[in-house]
Amino acid sequence: MIMLNKKEFFVINGLANKKTLKGSVRINGAKNAVLKALASTILFRDDITLKNVPDIEDVGRMIDLLSSLGCNISKKKTGVFVCKYCKKISHILNPEISSKLRASIVVAGPLLARLGKVSFPHPGGCVIGERPIDLFIDGFKKMGAKVQLKRSMYTLTAQNGKLKGADIFFRTQSVTGTETFMMAGVLAEGKTIIKNAALEPEIKHLADFLNLCGAKIKGAGTSTIEITGGKLLTSGNNKYTTPPDRIEAGSFIILGALAASDIKITNCDTSGLESLLEILKASGLSFKTTKSTLHIFNNKKDNSNFKNIDRIKTHEYPGFPTDLQAPMVIFLTQASGECLMFETIFEGRLNYTEELVRMGADIKEMDPHRIIVSGHKSLRGKELASPDLRAGLAYVIAAIIADGRSIIHNIYNIDRGYQHIEKRLRDLGVDIKRVSE
């Protein structure tokens, strides 16, 4: 597990809206992909190797969670882990770890499918609104599981020790729900059909790998996925390689737009970032892309050429990602004109904007889901505390373009999803250091 000092903080001396950052930055493996791939190792009858694994806290938490079940996971070298097959594993998810990791719920699918029983607490994670698990409970009931809730622990038991294939319709698209039931269906009896499934590219990436190893999954990447259940999977010579993190890539693209004179973002799959790139292009950003790189070269020394579009609405893929909403708001504070930001996925995810107003941003709250951002406002360095993973990085971007010094506390939230972020920023020219109290 990655050991982090919870009392560490960042000190950042801002650029005062000058575009001086230069260099290249490589995008790491996707957090939202590798966590589900780690959970999928429960479906295998042999050892499985995972490559391009990011060195982030959430990966450490997931490995700790799986290890507490009895799984044997070892690091072979940087970015490479081997998950050994274990005949005996527990059905009880560690409450302490699960309560801090939202993705822990995805482990319930393969575990219930393999053992016929699973116990877990309400999952935790970032405090960005309610995340009810009714979708999961209802889906497992449709697959024949009985549910008991006792002392804050859910215990699900499959009839005769085996889940049954079922038709599952999501009232609201859910990435985690889609992946959970897709994996559960791999070992269930009969056919499982998921309707109104999420479309995120990470889902198809996982399904393609599982199919290489013996799964029978059709339609991943579309709104209807069919899974024909079978036996435990065999990895053979197949290794799982984590795809690039499109949210991290989008965050660096926004930083590059605001603060770089010449920056190249490598190992970047831009095909999953079309909504962001179209907005930035409409705002006036010039960039060049290849299959795996994005190059930003700013001719102007400030952001006076950027113009806000009228409205941005977060939406399930391929719409604008909710995980890029906070960094995008930083961009909106610097472009001319007004923009309505409409957060449709999570309530409470706009709370971080109060601190941006303290920095000098002009942001008016309409309701818990909508704000109006008026741009071309100079930001001033302040002392802040990261409220969650994505807003935490948005604060870092705000501090970089601000005038003066900023101190950002609670950076544990940032470390959960971004590998060695201060070193990578320093390599681009950011004046940032990590300090321990």
Q: Point out the catalytic residue in the list 71, 83, 126, 268.
A: 126
For residue 410, what are the contacts with CB-CB under 8 A and spacing of at least 6? 9, 385, 386, 387, 392
Question: What are the b/e assignments for 219-234, b being 16+ CB within 10 Å?
Answer: bbbeeebbbbbeebbe
Question: With the C-alpha atoms ordered 414, 416, 418, 424, is the resulting torsion angle positive or negative?
Answer: positive
Phi/psi at 276 (5° precision): -65, -50
What is d(CA 48, CA 83) in angstroms, rounded to the nearest whole number?
5
Q: Any catalytic annotation for residue 126? A: yes
Starting at the edge strand that comes first in sequence, how are the strands of the sheet with 191-195 ordered? 167-169, 191-195, 224-228, 217-218
Residue with tokens 């190893």: 213
CA 368 to centroid of chain Cα atoms: 22
Q: Which residues pair with 241 in a beta bridge?
A: 51
One-letter identity of residue 72: N
Is-contact 40 206, C-beta < 8 A? Answer: yes
**How many CB atoms lie under 10 A from the CB of residue 248?**
26
Paired residues of 431 in beta bridges: 13
Cα 387 to chain centroid distance, Å, stands at: 16
3-state secondary structure of 421: helix
Active-site residues, by number, are: 126
